[in-house]
């Protein structure tokens, strides 16, 4: 069900999860697959095959969803024990499964040899496209300031989407995301001119940094390339230096921009004291692959992404996960130091993973909620709703809060209480 593209597909799949519409069903272990024919409203039955090792799906129905409702129904029927075992795949499934196995074998045994000249050519083409897109963006930014910001709050999203689309074509998706944020800043209510001008200034800073890319130190250049949207391969990250520690998996949060769902999993090193996030992306409706269980401790190597000290990839593990037994946070002074250090390295940073110790949710003036420590130091709680869940699990008493330090304040993700780790 987690593989379903949307809720309607789950509902439709449930209706097909009984034996009534199915015939010719079977399942085998080698290759791991399940298949069957589902009689619909048409004259011919739809033939459905699922490669369980992928998982991958094939169905003769006209649906553009993957998996379709027939594949979901077949999997539910199989999971309930309603599909008989077979020694091998039936004819309706054998051809497709064999072609998948053959493609996988070709990929393993005869990988394409890298062509340095072709790679250099592609890199040069990308640099030229990015440079053209950055030049167009710089002219557009100057036009915005020359014309003034009056009326930007009523312009809607369309003008920004057009510029963003041009930057996507120029292979600078990071800049495109920055332009899309301008629309949200302009439509954000009171104080929007200041927020919009801040976002415009940050984009202009990135444009000027790109112009000086060849003169920047390696660390700053890596930050600029990442902010422009240069692709990063996980295998390249895993080839970099490793930091081994006992990593506490403290919480996760999901967000969507309409194109991708982003999952951030917070981890904390018991020995190093380092806070970081493991990030996964997937299209809406598709499963997110993050091999970390919240509430566990994993002895593992992690590798930092170039230009992003807060993001890591999980490498080699050393033993099985253990249950989480204790979480200790730091004070506001240490968080402020870490935030300043992050902004010095990356002026465009928007979030720093933190673990705050002994803070309590308190309602401040004008209905704003704050996280207050024993010394009276406080930070606004960031979120679309009042933090009722955090208030409930804390009972108004100090707890350890896992979250993100942002420009506006602290966005809570989880709390460590006497009852253990609780998502908030």
Per residue, the 3-state secondary structure of 211-240, as one string, reads HCHHHCCHHHHHHHHHHHCCCCCHHHHHCC
pTM above 0.75, yes or no: no
Res 31: pLDDT: 86
Per-residue pLDDT for 109 more than 60?
no
Q: Angle CA(258)–CA(261)–CA(267) in degrees, nearest 5?
A: 150
- Residue 249 CB contacts under 8 Å (≥ 6 apart), including other chains: 265, 266, 267, 292, 293, 294, 295, 296, 297, 298, 324
Per-residue pLDDT for 7 more than 80?
no
**CA distances, 121 to each of 113, 130, 322 (Å):** 16, 14, 48
In the sheet that holds 410-417, the strands lie side by side as: 378-380, 369-372, 351-363, 399-406, 410-417, 420-423
Separation of alpha carbons 395 and 416, rounded Å: 13
Structure tokens at 283: 């299209």
Per-residue pLDDT for 52 more than 90?
no
Separation of alpha carbons 172 and 138, rounded Å: 13
Cα-Cα end-to-end distance for the chain: 25
The average pLDDT across 233-244 equals 90
The average pLDDT across 145-162 equals 87
Torsion of CA 2, 310, 412, 187, to 10 degrees: -90
pLDDT digits (tens, 9 = 90+) for 282-323: 777 666 666 788 999 999 999 999 889 899 999 999 988 899
Print burial letters for 212-224: b (CB count within 10 Å at least 16), e (below 16). Answer: ebeeeeeebbbbb
Closest of 229, 232, 169 to residue 203, by C-alpha: 229
Print burial letters for 349-380: b (CB count within 10 Å at least 16), e (below 16). Answer: bebbbbbbbbbbbeeeeeeebbbbbeeeebbe
Percent of the residues in the chain that have a pLDDT greater than 70, as a whole number: 95
Per-residue pLDDT for 106 more than 70?
no
Per-residue pLDDT for 272 more than 80?
yes
Per-residue pLDDT for 65 more than 70?
yes
User: Checking phi first, is residue 390 left (phi over 0); if not, alpha (psi -120 to 50) or beta?
Assistant: alpha
Per-residue pLDDT for 384 more than 90?
no
Res 198: pLDDT: 93
Res 346: pLDDT: 94
Q: Best-predicted range by mean pLDDT among 62-66, 84-88, 91-95, 341-345?
A: 341-345
Res 44: pLDDT: 83
Res 187: pLDDT: 85
Give 64's pLDDT tier (boundaries 50, 70, 90).
confident
pLDDT digits (tens, 9 = 90+) for 171-203: 899 999 999 999 888 887 788 999 999 999 999
CB 256 within 8 A of CB 262: yes
Per-residue pLDDT for 37 more than 80?
yes
Angle between helices 192-211 and 218-228 (to 10 degrees): 120
């Amino acid at each position: 069900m987690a593989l379903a593209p949307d809720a309607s597909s789950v509902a439709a799949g449930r209706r097909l999860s009984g034996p009534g519409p199915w015939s010719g069903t079977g399942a085998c272990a080698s290759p791991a697959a399940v298949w069957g024919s589902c009689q619909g409203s048409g004259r011919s039955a739809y033939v459905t095959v699922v490669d369980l090792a992928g998982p991958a799906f094939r169905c003769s129905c006209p649906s553009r969803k993957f998996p379709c409702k027939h594949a979901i129904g077949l999997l539910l029927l199989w999971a309930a024990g309603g599909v008989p075992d077979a020694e091998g795949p039936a004819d309706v499934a054998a051809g497709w499964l064999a072609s998948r196995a053959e493609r996988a074998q070709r990929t393993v045994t005869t990988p394409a040899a890298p062509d340095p000249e072709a790679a250099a050519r592609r890199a040069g083409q990308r640099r030229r496209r990015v440079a053209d897109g950055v030049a167009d963006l710089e002219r557009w930014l100057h036009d915005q300031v020359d014309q003034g910001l009056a009326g930007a709050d009523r312009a809607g999203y369309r003008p920004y989407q057009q510029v963003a689309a041009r930057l996507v074509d120029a292979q600078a998706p990071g800049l495109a995301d920055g332009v899309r944020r301008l629309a949200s800043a302009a439509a954000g209510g009171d104080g929007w001119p200041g927020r919009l001008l801040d976002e415009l200034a940050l984009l202009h800073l990135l444009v000027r940094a790109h112009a000086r890319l060849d003169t920047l130190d390696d660390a700053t250049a890596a930050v600029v390339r990442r902010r422009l949207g240069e692709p990063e391969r996980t295998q390249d990250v895993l080839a970099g230096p490793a930091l081994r520690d006992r990593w506490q998996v403290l919480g996760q949060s999901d967000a969507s921009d309409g194109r991708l769902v982003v999952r951030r999993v917070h981890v904390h090193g018991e020995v190093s004291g380092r806070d970081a996030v493991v990030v996964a992306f997937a299209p809406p409706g598709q499963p997110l692959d993050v091999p970390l269980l919240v509430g566990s401790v994993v002895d593992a190597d992690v590798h930092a992404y170039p230009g992003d000290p807060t993001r890591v990839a999980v490498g080699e593990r050393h033993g099985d996960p253990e249950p989480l037994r204790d979480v200790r946070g730091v004070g506001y002074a240490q968080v402020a130091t870490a935030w300043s250090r992050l902004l010095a390295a990356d002026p465009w940073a928007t979030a720093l993973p933190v673990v705050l110790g002994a803070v309590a949710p308190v309602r401040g003036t004008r209905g704003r909620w704050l996280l207050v420590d024993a010394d009276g130091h406080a930070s606004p709680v960031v979120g679309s709703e009042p933090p009722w869940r955090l208030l409930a699990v804390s009972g108004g008493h100090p707890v350890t809060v896992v979250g993100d330090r942002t420009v506006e304040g602290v966005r809570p993700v989880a709390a460590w209480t006497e009852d253990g780790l609780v998502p908030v």
